[in-house]
Chains A and B, each alone.
Chain A
Amino acid sequence: MKEDSQKFELQTKSGESVTVGDVSVTPRSQALTIRWPQGGWVWNRPHSLIVQRGEETEHIPVLDITRILQVGLYALSALFVILSFVFMIRKVSSQK
């Protein structure tokens, strides 16, 4: 394994453009890389699309709806558990 390689790396790369008529779309990806001496882990996800039409350039994000909803629901669960504990601790301390 390369010694100069970084342990943590977040890269955003552009792929090959797709052109239809005067619309040109360049997909962009974001990759998180974690390396260790005898292994590694890579997570690559779609980031955005660069849409070019004539002289106009537009950035369209590629949203992962499943991930957003999943994280939101798990965060709500965690928040509810924390709030419940806070409520119970307050209740116990007020009874003493």
Chain B
Amino acid sequence: MSEKIKEFTTATVTNEKTIELIEKLFTVTQPETIYGKPVEVGDRVVFTASEVSVGMGVGFGFGGVFEAEDDSEDGPDNAEMGGGGGGGGGSQGRPVAVISVSPDGVDVEPVVDATKIALAFFTMLGSIFFMGAKMKKESKK
């Protein structure tokens, strides 16, 4: 088999493996992904609850020109073939709550991300000051 045909076959196998990898991405939908392993603390059992998001995308392209007829088993040697591909992905996780189970009942303790809330708060303050100043300027006209 010519080198170019080999390259094409390798690329096709890589593409199939990538699709298998994408299928594995969807195992994230299982509850075990976001609920931590229970830990015994005295007479209580504690476990965490988190939020997870995962994304991935790939793209491939192939093309080629066979200029001469070649019936040999090796295929055409003067074939012009090319291909390329790329991909990207990302994931993030964040704790949401700590769950404590005791013989008396269940406690759900929320985990608060102060940085995210502070950022949202300052964004709100910024928009209020900016629009307030603009309104003041308009009312003076």
Contacts and interface: CB of A to CB of B under 8 A. Distances in A.
Task: Determine if chain A interacts with chain B.
Answer: yes
Interface of A: 1-2, 11, 13-16, 18, 20-23, 25, 27-29, 31, 33, 35-36, 38-46, 49, 51, 53, 60, 62-67, 69-70, 73-74, 76-77, 80-81, 84, 87-88, 91-92, 95
Given A39-B56, A41-B56, A84-B134, 19 more contacts: A1-B23, A15-B31, A22-B103, A23-B105, A27-B31, A42-B52, A42-B55, A44-B53, A51-B105, A62-B99, A63-B110, A64-B97, A66-B94, A66-B116, A67-B51, A73-B121, A73-B124, A80-B127, A81-B127
B44 interface: yes
Interface bracket on B: 35 or more
Contact of B108 (A20, A60, A81, A87): A60
Nearest to A91: B138
Contact of B38 (A18, A39, A41, A77): A18
Q: Which 3 A-B pairs have the closest CB atoms?
A: A39-B57, A15-B31, A21-B103
B113 interface: yes
B29 A11 contact: yes
Nearest to A25: B101
A22 B101 CA distance: 11
Interface string B14-36: 00001100110110111111110
A20 B131 CA distance: 54
A27 B33 CA distance: 12
